Every structure is written in structure tokens, then in C-alpha cells.
Structure 1
């Protein structure tokens, strides 16, 4: 299992992302991943299991957890829950950066009435969108940032954490480049040269921080995009392969089978059967 990088995109009309956790029905897992945004999970009903750098945290009703930029985390939600998630782009806190990063401590007590009330209010105001809601949102959001900065901000950051954050920042840039250019011929040597790294160094940071080698990561990105094209178009298997950076249909089919357990042609047949059954 490799660690995925998540690109956080704020809500269209907000400078941050605010939503209800998609695992609210239970029986839901989010694999290990990281992103550059700061993230708060607030459980209002039920419970979830949260892991930060493999350290477990069980959150129950009224409790929250704070995830730093570039912290590797995962979630297990076996039971129904109602959880609000707030993702704050790190640049919104640049003014309070005394070292290279603004980092927060993981609270020993996961209950904070001020944070709970502010996030609930943000979600309610945003859902209602009554006249002048934009100004009210700004007011509550800045109050929340004030609580985070004055109560939870780390004054000192150890050298190992700084090094890990620098390397994950570099890896984030590289991964975003790969996702934009996955259709091209992206050799390890070519990508390393673009970012002024040696191929050995680039290979090492992929293995260390994403738990996957460069070639396998690139194939995973390509097969994920190819999967969407397979499901949503009538393009041939050969066309899908070429459209998504594979040299030929054989290479695509091999990678697809390894990921999904079926050849792409068989997967498409099964998908069409399910669609017909759903109609009838």
C-alpha cells in the first residue's frame, strides 16, 4: 500500500474546503495519504478511528483532531457517523510562520468547545447562505484561526519534522507535475532533471515518503485516469491505452489487471451487465 498525495481544492466560493465526511454511512476507510492543507475533523455523532503517522486516535461525539500540513494520516469509520471536515490551505497562515512551517500540536484532550462551536457555525452559515453570509463566514473563520494560532501552534519544530516537511513539499510538487503530464514520456531521469535532483535521490524520496517506487507510482496515476475513460467513454482499449500514456494495449491491460483484478475488456463487459440489470 503506497501513500497518496491529495490535492485539496477549496469550495468554489470559499478560501478553504468545508464538507461532511464522505464516510458517514460507516464501513468506510481512507488509506494513508497527505496534503499541504491543515485539516480538522470534528465528530458530531458516532465515532471514527483516526491515524496520524500510524498513531491511533479514537474520536467520539464532540471530539476533534488536528492534522498538520504533510502529516501522513488515514481513517477508519466502521460505524455511521456525522463528521465535519475543514481543510485550510497552509498559505492562509503564512503571516504567523516563525520558522519554515506553521505546525500545530496534537491536543491531549480532543474536546474544545470553542473549536466545536466555530466549525458548527461555519457549516450552518454556509449551508443556509442567508443575506450577508459571506461576512459572517469571514468573522467565524478568523476567530477559528485565532484559536488555532494562540492555543495550538507549536513554538519550536524539531529538525526531523522540518526535513520531512521539506521532502514532502518537494514530492508534492513532483506528483502534481506527474498528474498534469502523465500522458507524456515521463522517465525517472527526465523528471529528476526537471526538478534538479539526481535520479537516485528522486527514487529514494518516492520510496521513503510514498512507500512506492517511481515507475509503479506513474503507472498507478495512468491506470486511474484510464479507468475513468474506460467507464465513461466508448473508446477502444487501444485508444484508452495511448490516451493515458501507455505504450500499447498490452501494457495497459497488464497494469489494469494488477490493480482491478480483471482485464479492461472484461471489466467493461461486467460494468455494462450491471447497468442493464439496474435498468430492468
Structure 2
């Protein structure tokens, strides 16, 4: 089974991405670091998680754990998708990698999460400080998950040929925590106690990108988020993305997106074009 790695871009000041999908929905098998909750607002949505299919109907939801393979399919549906930053969640417990979240049907946790997701769906079109309300609901959802839905993950310390390799996951976490610093694939491999060639192969298999490509993409994501969503200057965005100089940031952005940060920011502000996919050469 082929599965694509998805790099999630968060909404503004939130430690998460919130989006509404509607109409015909079809995604390839993919995975990401984020904890995902999908709440069906209307219609029927087929979700396939680790080769197990399930159909969700109106007012039902599903939790997908970090790095789980999944895909979505619907002829016509409307759903809320919440992707919560794994890095944000680990701030409350660094041993989260050894756990997995399970929502028991008919439990109090299921009822609480359902209510919170319904409230979150109502904030999407609000104009009165929606980010603040959404932040509050996201932390409430995490609290329910940590307190009522957390279980030991039997795969947490096992090495294997799949995307749940602990070494790859730890490498991803290291990048997210240290992207403003200087490091190499070799130095990260040494920290994990493995050979650089082993990490390189596993990382490419898991993400579809080389270690260097992923680090650049992550830094650009952070820099562009600072520029577009947080109103920072080019100089501030350069630091936010961990680039050594403005010149380097501009050059890397132009190589990845085909245009400079100035041009990309202008397009974003005018609303004429969405942020383009990275195109590494």
C-alpha cells in the first residue's frame, strides 16, 4: 500500500488546521504527524484507516492517531477536519509517543468530544474572535483525549518497515523542535544512535522526501506562516523559519515556489492564489 506524507499548514495562531470539506471528497492514502478528528456535518463519508473501512454518517466522528494511514471518500458530504499539532500535544507530556488514543463508543468521552467538535464547527464562520474560541476548544479536546482516551501504544518502541518506525518519528519531532538551529542528517542520526544511511533510507520511505528536502519544506512552512498569517516582516520571517539570512530565505523560497516571498505574499494578500505546492529541483 502506497501512502503519501502530508505536511499540515496550521491556521493562523492556532496549533492546528481546521478545514471544512464538502461535495465530492477523495483523498489518497496519506499520513501526517498530527492527531486528526473528522466530524461529518452532512451526508456519508467513507474512512479507511490502516486498511479498515468505516462509513460515518451525519453527526458522527472518527479519531485518527498520529502517523496512521488513512484516506477519505464520499460522493457528496460535508465534514469538519481538525488536525492538532503533535508537537503542541507533547508539550503537556513528552512521553506521548508511547501512547495511542481510543474513543470508546457510548462513553462519556465520546459524548464530550462530539459536543466539542459540534461547537468547533460553529466557529468556522464566526467573526467575533474565532481564533480565541477555537484555541479554547482545541485544548478542551486534547484534555479529554489525554484524560479519558489514552492507552499504551504496543507499537511505540518497535522497529519495522512501516511508517510507525520510532526512529523516523523521533527524527520528525527533532526537526520540529530544533528547525531554527543548525543540524545535519548525520548529526540527528548520531543523536538517535543509528547510522545516517539507515535514517536516510527510512526517512525517504516514510515521507517520500529526503531529510534535507523535508527540513527545507518545514522551515519554509514556518517562515511563510510568519509572513502571511502573523504579519511579520521578511527579516522576522527569516528568523522564524531558521534561515541564516534574508538572502538565503528569498533564494530557497524562489527555488521551491518559483517566486520570491514578496511576490508570494502579494498573491496571498490579494486572495488571487493559494499557497503553491513546493517544487524542489
Category of TM-score, reference length = shorter chain: 0.5 to 0.7
Seen in structure 2, the aligned counterparts of structure 1 residues 59 and 99 have a Cα distance that, compared at 3 Å, is same
1:122 equivalent among 90, 110, 120: 120
Matches within 5 A, 1:72-221: 72-77=69-74, 79-97=75-93, 99-101=95-97, 103-109=99-105, 112-130=110-128, 132-154=129-151, 156-158=152-154, 160-163=155-158, 164-169=164-169, 172=172, 193=186, 195-196=188-189, 198=195, 200-202=197-199, 204-206=201-203, 209=206
TM-score by length of 2: 0.59
Give the drift of 1:98. 6.4
Unaligned segments of structure 2, at least 5 residues: 159-163, 177-183, 218-253, 259-278
Unaligned segments of structure 1, at least 5 residues: 177-190, 230-242, 246-280
RMSD (Å) for aligned C-alpha atoms: 4.1
Structure 2 CA distance for aligned equivalents of residues 60 and 110 of structure 1: 16
Structure 2 residue aligned with 1:56: 53
CA displacement, residues 53-74 of structure 1 (integer Å, 9 cap, x when unaligned):
2222221222111111222222
CA displacement, residues 48-100 of structure 1 (integer Å, 9 cap, x when unaligned):
121222222221222111111222222222x2011000111012222542635
Seen in structure 2, the aligned counterparts of structure 1 residues 25 and 200 have a Cα distance that, compared at 3 Å, is same
Structure 1 residue aligned with 2:19: 19
Find out whether 1:66 has 2:68 as its counterpart: no
Structure 2 CA distance for aligned equivalents of residues 54 and 173 of structure 1: 26
Give the drift of 1:171. 6.2
Tell me, what secondary structure is at the counterpart of 2:42? Answer: strand
Tell me, what secondary structure is at the counterpart of 1:139? Answer: helix
Structure 2 CA distance for aligned equivalents of residues 206 and 110 of structure 1: 39
Does the CA-based 8 Å contact 2:185-2:196 persist in structure 1?
yes
Does the CA-based 8 Å contact 1:38-1:87 persist in structure 2?
yes
Please tell me whether Structure 1 or Structure 2 has the larger radius of gyration of its CA atoms: 1
Does the CA-based 8 Å contact 1:65-1:106 persist in structure 2?
no
Does the CA-based 8 Å contact 1:48-1:59 persist in structure 2?
yes
Does the CA-based 8 Å contact 1:94-1:102 persist in structure 2?
no
